[in-house]
Structure 1
Amino acid sequence: MRLPFLRRRARGPEHYPEGPLRTLAASPPPADTTPVSEVELLALDVETTGLDPASDHLLSLGWVPVVGGRVVLAEARELRVRPPEGVDVGDSATLHRLTDDNLSDATPLSEALPPLLDALHGRVLLAHHASLEVEFVAAAARTSYGTRPRLTAVDTLALQRRLQADEHGEVSGSLRLDAARRVYGLPRYAAHDALTDAVAAAELFLAQVAELERRLGREVLLRDLSPQRSG
């Protein structure tokens, strides 16, 4: 089943308010026939107060570019986000260890979102269970700009499901980020840190592309990754 955000038809830049969303919309997304080696991606992970973008809030953004088959650590960035007035972290702190105290002087959402949107210019968003990242970014953009951004996304969880499925389409084993990484012999990282998880997803993606290329017997194209476009 395709999620609602995947069915939206792309709008032209003129339909977005002036500022980061219009600039992002003016960046042409890669064509589906583009070799993955020529596609720039931005691996993104978010930490939040919960799992519902309609009622929960961003607390941390971590991202790192993937360019030319490399994870560009020199351009990695993490921003902690101060929740709205009257919103506390609650029980989510037991997962990501972000507390009300250490978020009290964090970056306001209105200042945290533009650097992320700038980093996404001409790039494909990459995440493990990408619908979560897409919808939280969309909710943040609605709060700041009144509308959602134009995004193209690749989901490493969905890709791993395809790679692990047997001839009947059944999947055995976990598809969680750490479990997927173990399939390729990648090292274990501590979970629920936005930047660490973004790097982990980026490394997983490169391993998945190598495996997919082996199975296809040719260079992997963007369309082979089932990219989803929204906005």
Structure 2
Amino acid sequence: MRTMGLLGGMSWESTAVYYRLMNQGVAARRGGLHSAPLRLASVDFAEVAALQRAGAWQQAGELLGRTGAGLRAAGAQALLIATNTMHKVADTVVRESGLPLLHIGDATGQALRAAGVRRAGLLGTRFTMEDGFLARHLNEGYGIEVAVPPEPDRAEVHRIIFDELCRGVQHDSSRAAFARIIGALAESGCDAVILGCTEISLLVDPAAPGWPVPLFDTTALHAQAAVDWMLQEETA
């Protein structure tokens, strides 16, 4: 198996989900006591979040890139950034780390295209919903039109992510807010909704019955792409 480097801690709540899903995926495919060959670096999210708020994206990208270079030195052969938001600086991370990146937008775009989705709603941090980097990746690479909620709903989604989910807090009222926002996106013409923050599936179960449109969990899709990559045979 090939060794994956996991840039985590943003937040550690969702990084724990990545770790579980990747190990479960390898065990399911290989059987027995097999588990995922990983190199994990968990950064201090408070430092990264402060750089996000300050708009210091170049500095944040260089921080993750240096961390990724450490994973390369420890034996990682590729990188996974365990957060949607920090894919905003994916190019910097690749350049600074010297490793190829399994992009969360590719895992998501491939699943959306395979399902025949043409227009998808996007939920995530304010940065992910408003800065356009993930929407462009999905549109240019996979032909997916991306829509986001109106500003008050974007603010509420962002608040729930940072004030609750990243801190291990889950409220029924927040679950209801997500259900309302997902319903509104469906009514606006979206034929799917992307859970475009790696913490959202801690609150919203994509497999639960009753959603008006299919929900695509970027965390699960990204972890599955990592399992596929780790189990590919290396070529000389």
Compute the TM-score of the two structures, normalised by the length of structure 2. Answer: 0.27
Greater strand share, 1 or 2? 1
**Which has the larger helix fraction?**
2
